[in-house]
Structure 1
Amino acid sequence: LTTIKSFSSSSELRDAVSKANVPDEIINELSSRLASYEKSERSNEGFTSDDINKILSLAKLPDDSITLSSLNESMIKLNIKKMSAERLIEILETSSMVLRNSNTSWSVLQ
């Protein structure tokens, strides 16, 4: 028995196992969508992918989900007033960056 890789937390292990179990076709599709999204700087909305990543990193709750409230708070902290949290969540859903858990919660897929 040999150890190929060790993980410092169960969440890192879970992520690695999940990635290992995802078919190549899905990985390619997600990579393609992500690359396409990153190329687009959301000029029509005034956001770059960096803006969105900053907002999401601040908005994430301990369970890696986001809410309209957490999005709004992160946008206020970053002094971003280009659009509402509701509009941003619509863009994130359309871009397949988040998945709706309930009427008030979304999982971040990146």
Structure 2
Amino acid sequence: MELEQYIQNIEDKLQQLFKKLQQSQADNVMLREQLVQQQNELNRQQENIASLDEKLKLTRIATVTQGANLSEDEDAFRKEVRGKINDYIKEIDRCIALLNS
């Protein structure tokens, strides 16, 4: 009689473990789906940030070209933009000189 109870007890514990395994597997699938959704949302937000950064840069450049009252940071940015433009012009001039020679 004791042996049968012992075997029944083991079978009950195995069934409980099996149920826990199934629940853990279901939770794992759900968590993986949530992870994929969150990764997709993160990618969308990063793309949005990149787009907004580009718009901010264009707005700052437009502000610089309009010559509005600028703060020190904006003035430094304006000088940086003008420096880059001058570098591009010099590079274009060098390319033209190479083409003409």
TM-score by length of 1: 0.23
Higher strand share: 1
Q: Which has the higher contact order (CA 8 A, sep 6+)?
A: 1
Q: Which structure: larger Rg?
A: 2
